A and B are shown apart, each in its own frame.
Chain A
Amino acid sequence: MTTHLLARELKRGSTELLVLALLEEQPRHGYDIARLIDERSQGSITYQVASLYPTLYRLENRSLIEGRWVEKAGQRRRRYYRLLPAGRKVLASQRSVWEGFFAGLDRVANLRRA
């Protein structure tokens, strides 16, 4: 039960971090985000696309990001998300939490082998 809960929270926390970090660079639409996570982790983060949109909507409801429909000639309209100032703060704090977490893991479990 506890491990199940931890896994869920870890996943949710990491998805948020990934999305926020990607939106920090520039506004992106959902498919773009999914594709980049896949590409940049070189497939190592087995990422479940199903949780992407719920995450986006959750972040939007918390006013961390903002979605906006953009129409370009000859294309489907796409919903682009951009990082809001509150999102930027959350991203910074999540980064430091994850950094501390990894440093701790590293010290204990010697994750980064030379």
Chain B
Amino acid sequence: MDWNRIVGEAFGQRQMPEDDVIDELAQHADSAYQAARAEGSSGDEAERRVRELLRAWSADPDVLTRRPRRPPTVVPPKASASGLAGFLGDLRYAIQLMRRQWTHTLVVVLTMALGIGASTVLFSVVYGVLLKPVPWPDADQLVRLLETRQGSTRPMRFFTNVTFLAWANKPTTIESIAGWSTGRMTLTGTAGAERLNVAWITSGLMPLLGVRPALGQWFDVATGASLDEQQVVIDDRLWQERFGGRRDVLGQVLRLDGAGYRIVGVLAPSFGFPTRETRAWIPFVVKPGGLSMFQAIARLKPGVTPAQAQAEGNARGRAAPDPGLVVVAVFGSKGPVQVSVTPLVESMTGEVRPALILLLVAAGLLLAAATANVAGLQLARAMNRRREFAIRAALGAGGGRLARQLLVENALVGLVGGACGLLLASWLVRGLPSLLPSDFPRVTDIAIDWRVAAFSIGLSLTASILFGLAPALHAGRIRLAPSLAEDGLAPVGGGTRTATARARLLLMAGQVAVAAVLLIGAAVLGRSFLALISADRGYDPSHVLTARLPLPEATYTPVQRAAMLERVLDRLKRVPGVTAAAVSTGLPLLRGDTLAAFTMRSPRDGATVQVHTSIRHVSPGYFAALRLRIRDGRGFTDSDTAAARTVAVVNRTFARQYLGEAPVGSRVPAGYKHGETDAEVIGIVDDFSSGAVTDPVAPELYRCSLQLSDGFDDDVPSLIVRTAGDPARLVPVLRSIIGGEDASVALESVMTMDNRLASSLAKPRLYAILLAAFAVFALAIAGVGLFGVLSRIVSLRTREIGVRTALGAAPADVVRLVLKQALAVTIGGIAVGLAVAAAVGRYVSKLLYGVTPYDAVSYGAVSIMLLLVVIVACIVPARRAARIDPARVLR
């Protein structure tokens, strides 16, 4: 029996209870009927009894109503409350609202957390790397010194002994000057061999920094003139590892590269100069004569500017004795000395500064987009609460009173979002050291300290006041009658008629603009990174394994070294899968070129030319191992031995600058000395970038290692092995070959050439990825925001659309109506975004390679992408609009 129908009929024309109640009564009726039948009543009798029941129920249908369950209502604070009590009331009300509308709260808090988290991470990096003082007393007086010669095109990388000594003698603008250089040495002892990062420092360096050893003292300079160079100060880790932290370490001897060094001091673990990885410091004395290069630092006298010190440095350097031709080899110019004096922090971080500032600005933009998004959401919510505000205003609450409450609500949401952002940031910052490239400066100085936390909290308060402002202003202007009237919620022409609607569209356009700027930045940086990866470097990095093989002077003479290298190469070439193997002085992407300057007779016109070139000593397989392109003539072969005629290969830049039209066959000095003509140029090799692809290519002169009568003079030669398969597979073979030759030799920097290239590009990659992440997030914010705004507009315009449909508008017309508004907003936003991107483009150009900041492809792609996102965001609201049924809406 269909009891639902029977129960429904019992109520007949009278007020019909809701379906749920009918259902429940039908269930009762059914049970009663079944029970009656079970007691033995006939079907008619049972039905009669149930119908009696139905009559009783339907006698008074009014009491058969179940009110729908509602969430507990929140009691708004009293209108008259003021001062602290009022504030606490507002706060309580805000917390209740947040909990009740938890989905809204979640969206807002997450959006703010991401915006503030990103900004906080970037600020902590910028603060720790660029702004935080270095940990030495009066660090603002510390300056880095570099030197070059007027007319040189090479980047400044060092200081010279000549200028150093000239300046160190009674300086006027600086208190003291000190120098250092870095390298690696092999530590031997009972615990086995280990390669250490070592710094050679002048005895004045640590007093200049104002640092004292934790144990012992600095180098013993009390005796004056003759400094004992066989002393060493070690770091805390070495002290713990090799000496178990015992105090009697002082006076013991450390064996480095086979020589003994007396330990005079131990440094605190916090010390990290010149690098964090430095384990031992050995004295070095700047000697006159010749030209030696190293790093230099000075402490300015109080009140002296770097520019003043620079002027003195120039004057001193120019007055110093001229070291001669070698200057040309080093600087590529013989012009007057030019000294550069830069504050220490700036010199440490100058390279990453533009990128960090760019990323900080990007994070700021992201936060702005997040804030605009939240402002839009809060504004929409304020619109939904117009009736609440209107009623409260009618009951006596002033506009200012309501505005205050809205501000409290927004500040609370903002602070919670900020706290989550700070939490997110502290988590991210902890992971930074492993994310940042290994050569990123001052990584250990990056932390979330009170300044960063204060920044973050300040930021979230500012943002929340900004996104609370629009709703609060709105609340202050509540007009009673229209807000309480039913139609007040659905203004005709809803899109842009009211100030609130316009504010919402403006916020939306702003988000699109921010997304456009960030996307263009990410696209341009990404394309620049791709250009860097795929740039023609002149060599082929794939399938190449490289390593450095330290063969120190103490154990290997150059002749022994050459013999050892030849044996290693012989064995390597016999390994299956190895297609070429070579040794050379220097390796692409590793600094440490040997430079030479000499004069020679130009083959072009017989005039004497001044040559400055870098020199590489390479074994015959070198060109094949790196796949360098021989343009003319040939490369070295195994028959180019000491017994054969002396030959040389030069790169195209060398040939173009010094050799003229027919370079092959011309003669150059084998010993790089003036007047010699003992080596014949047999081949011209294409230029290749030995450093970054952006560095200018210098002239290069190659000699065959088999022809070097003095043996192989580089004590850390580089091995280059080309394989048919995966080069990384060769690593154990290589190690066992080296171990088989000399167990005390430890290979270092074993890397495939691809990895070497990738790590040299780690920074541009990081910048591109970070900016892309920001851009994607901004795009998501804009897309979701647009969706929300459009949905709202459609629901506000339901009546209007209903009227239009009733008057004959087709669904396509309605869709066009929605799309038109969305596209207007987006195109406006994109236009602003493109304009801003173009305006700031020139600040980015320093970071780019192979692409301009006004790259048309990026601009076009970003515009199309944003339009697509907008169309996707439109689909649902537009379809909903098209389905509006005029009969229902207008009833």
* Secondary structure dominating the interface of A: helix
Chain A, Cβ-Cβ closest to B52 = A49
Can you list 13 pairs linking A and B with CB atoms under 8 Å apart? A35-B31, A35-B35, A54-B60, A54-B64, A57-B64, A57-B65, A57-B66, A76-B26, A77-B23, A78-B27, A79-B20, A79-B24, A79-B27
Nearest CB of chain B from residue A80's CB, rounded to whole Å: 11
Query: Which A residues lie within 8 Å of B692 (CB)?
Result: none
Kindly state the separation between the CA atoms of A48 and B26 in the bound complex, as whole angstroms. 17
Q: Report the interface size for chain B: residues with CB under 8 A from the other chain.
A: 22
Given known contacts A35-B35, A48-B56, A50-B59, A61 and B67 CB-to-CB distance under 8 angstroms = yes
Looking at the assembled complex, report how far the CB atom of A64 sits from the nearest CB atom of chain B, in whole angstroms: 14
Chain B residues lying within 8 Å of A30, measured Cβ to Cβ, are 24, 27-28
A31: Cβ under 8 A from any B Cβ: yes
Query: At the interface, yes or no: A53 with Cβ under 8 Å from chain B?
Result: yes
For chain B residues 55-72, which have a beta carbon within 8 Å of chain A? 56-57, 59-60, 63-67
Q: List residues of chain A with CB within 8 A of the CB of B27.
A: 29-31, 76-79
Residues of A bordering B, CB below 8 Å: 29-31, 34-35, 48-50, 53-54, 57-58, 60-61, 67, 76-79
Q: Which residues of A contact B26 (CB under 8 A)?
A: 76
**What distance in Å separates the Cβ of B611 from its nearest Cβ neighbour in chain A?**
95
Report the Cα distance A26→B374, complex, angstroms. Answer: 48
Tell whether B391 is near chain A: CB-to-CB under 8 Å.
no
Q: Which residues of B contact A50 (CB under 8 A)?
A: 53, 56-57, 59-60
B715, CB-defined interface residue at 8 Å: no
Q: Is the CB of A53 within 8 A of B25?
A: yes
Task: Let me know if B724 is at the binding interface, CB within 8 A.
Answer: no
The 8 residue pairs across chains A and B that have the minimum distance between CB atoms: A50-B56, A54-B63, A31-B31, A31-B28, A57-B66, A79-B24, A76-B27, A30-B28
Nearest CB of B to A73, in Å? 16
Answer whether residue B81 sits at the interface, using C-beta atoms and an 8 A cutoff.
no
Task: Evaluate whether A49 and B63 lie within 8 angstroms (CB atoms) in the complex, with A29-B27, A31-B31, A34-B28 already known.
Answer: no
Flag whether B319 is at the interface (Cβ < 8 A).
no
B 25-49 binary contact with A (CB < 8 Å = 1; else 0): 1111011100100000000000000
Chain B residues with CB under 8 A of A58: 63
Given A34-B28, A58-B63, 6 extra CB contacts under 8 A: A30-B28, A31-B32, A49-B57, A53-B21, A57-B21, A78-B27
- Check A49–B30 contact: CB distance below 8 A: no
Q: How far is the CA of A49 from the CA of B59 in the complex (A)?
A: 12
CA distance A57 to B68 in the complex (A): 11
Least CB distance from A72 to B in Å reads: 12
Q: Can you name the residue of chain A whose Cβ is closest to the Cβ of B30?
A: A76
Distance between Cα atoms of A4 and B635 in the complex (Å): 122
The number of inter-chain residue pairs (CB within 8 angstroms) is: 49
Least CB separation from A52: chain B residue: B28
Task: Provide the residues of chain A in CB contact with B53, threshold 8 Å.
Answer: 49-50
Residues of B within 8 A of A79 (CB): 20, 23-24, 27
Known: A30-B28, A35-B35, A53-B21. A60 touches B66 (CB 8 A): yes
In the complex, the chain A residue whose C-beta lies closest to that of B63 is A54
Q: What chain B residues lie within 8 Å of A54 (beta carbons)?
A: 60, 63-64
Asked if B64 and A53 sit within 8 Å, CB to CB, the answer is: yes
**Chain A residues, Cβ within 8 Å of B65:** 57
Least CB distance, A32 to chain B, in whole angstroms: 8
A39 and B57 CA atoms in complex are apart in Å by 21
Q: Please give me the residue from chain B that is nearest to A31 by CB atom.
A: B31
CA distance A57 to B65 in the complex (A): 7
Chain B, residue nearest A76 (CB): B27
Q: Which residues of B contact A31 (CB under 8 A)?
A: 27-28, 31-32
Give the residue of A49, A61, A77, A78 whose beta carbon is less than 8 angstroms from that of B66: A61
Enumerate chain B residues within 8 angstroms of A34, measured Cβ to Cβ: 28
The answer to whether B64 and A49 touch across the interface, beta carbons within 8 angstroms, is no
Residues of A within 8 A of B24 (CB): 30, 53, 79
In the assembled complex, the Cα of A57 lies from the Cα of B66 at a distance in Å of 6
Residues of A within 8 A of B59 (CB): 50
Min C-beta distance of B824 to chain A, whole Å: 49
CA distance A58 to B65 in the complex (A): 9
**Considering residues A50, A54, A77, A78, which has the most beta carbons from chain B within 10 angstroms of its beta carbon?**
A50
A77 → chain B, closest Cβ, in Å?
7
In the complex the two chains form, what is the Cα distance from A76 to B27 in whole Å?
7
The answer to whether A53 touches B57, judged by C-beta atoms less than 8 angstroms apart, is yes
A14–B53 Cα distance when bound, in Å, is 21
Interface centre among A34, A48, A57, A61 (most CB of B within 10 A): A57
Q: Which B residues lie within 8 Å of A78 (CB)? A: 27
Complex-state Cα separation, A60 to B66, whole angstroms: 8
Shortest beta-carbon distance from B607 to chain A in Å: 104
Instruction: Return chain B residues, CB-CB under 8 Å to A61.
Output: 66-67
Bound: A54/B64 CA distance, A = 5
CA distance A78 to B31 in the complex (A): 11
Distance to closest chain A CB from B11 (angstroms): 13
Q: In the complex, what residues of B have CB within 8 A of residue A48's CB?
A: 56
- CA gap between A58 and B56 in the complex, in Å: 18
Kindly state the separation between the CA atoms of A34 and B60 in the bound complex, as whole angstroms.
Answer: 19
Q: Which residues of B contact A53 (CB under 8 A)?
A: 21, 24-25, 28, 57, 64
- A71 → chain B, closest Cβ, in Å? 11
Taking the nearest CB of chain A, how far is it from the CB of B1, in angstroms? 12
Tell me the bound Cα distance from A29 to B24 in angstroms.
9
Contacts of B32 in A (CB 8 A): 31
Nearest CB on A from B46, distance (A): 14
Q: How close is A105's CB to chain B, nearest CB, in angstroms?
A: 30
Contact residues in A for B63 (Cβ distance below 8 Å) = 54, 57-58
- The distance in angstroms between the C-alpha atoms of A78 and B25, with both chains bound, is 10
Distance A91 CA – B747 CA, assembled complex (angstroms): 86
Which residues on B sit within 8 Å (CB–CB) of A77?
23, 27
Find chain B residues with CB under 8 A from A67 CB.
Answer: 66
